[in-house]
């Protein structure tokens, strides 16, 4: 199981639609993959005018699902540049 952090930029005007699409996709993925936890973050400080940075967070993804998440096919409509994928494996988790 891996944890994935995937960040990408979207035009500010499209941010709400992109966020809704990500959340809908994440709900489908979590329903289909037991143990997967997903979330979406939006960068609080704007580093580029007119663009918003979103970060998808996934905990407990299987290797097969990680490949699908990395591709991110349902989100290509909104991409402004590349999706950047960071993969982590758990070392310790506190209860």
Q: Mean pLDDT for the chain?
A: 89
- Is the model's pLDDT at 14 over the cut of 90? yes
Evaluate whether 18 touches 94 at the Cβ level (below 8 Å). Answer: no
What CATH number labels 2-88?
A: 3.30.70.100
The pLDDT, as a whole number, for residue 44 is 79
If you average pLDDT over residues 19-33, what whole number do you get? 93
The pLDDT, as a whole number, for residue 72 is 76
What Rg value do the Cα atoms of the chain yield, rounded? 13
Residue 51, strand partner residues: 11
DSSP string, 51-69: EEEEEEEEEEE-HHHHHHH
pLDDT in tens, 55-75: 999 998 888 788 888 777 788
Residue 11, strand partner residues: 51
CA dihedral angle for residue 24, residue 27, residue 31, residue 37, rounded to 10 degrees = 150
- Is the model's pLDDT at 39 over the cut of 80? yes
């Amino acid at each position: 199981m891996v944890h994935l952090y995937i960040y990408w930029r979207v035009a500010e005007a499209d941010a709400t639609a992109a966020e809704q699409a990500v959340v809908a996709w994440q709900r489908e993925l979590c329903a289909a993959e037991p143990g997967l936890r997903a979330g979406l973050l939006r960068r609080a400080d704007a580093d580029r005018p007119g663009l918003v940075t979103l970060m998808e967070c996934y905990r407990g993804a299987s290797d097969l699902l990680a490949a699908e998440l990395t591709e991110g096919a349902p989100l290509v409509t909104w991409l402004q540049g590349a999706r950047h994928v960071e993969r982590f494996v758990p070392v310790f988790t506190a209860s």
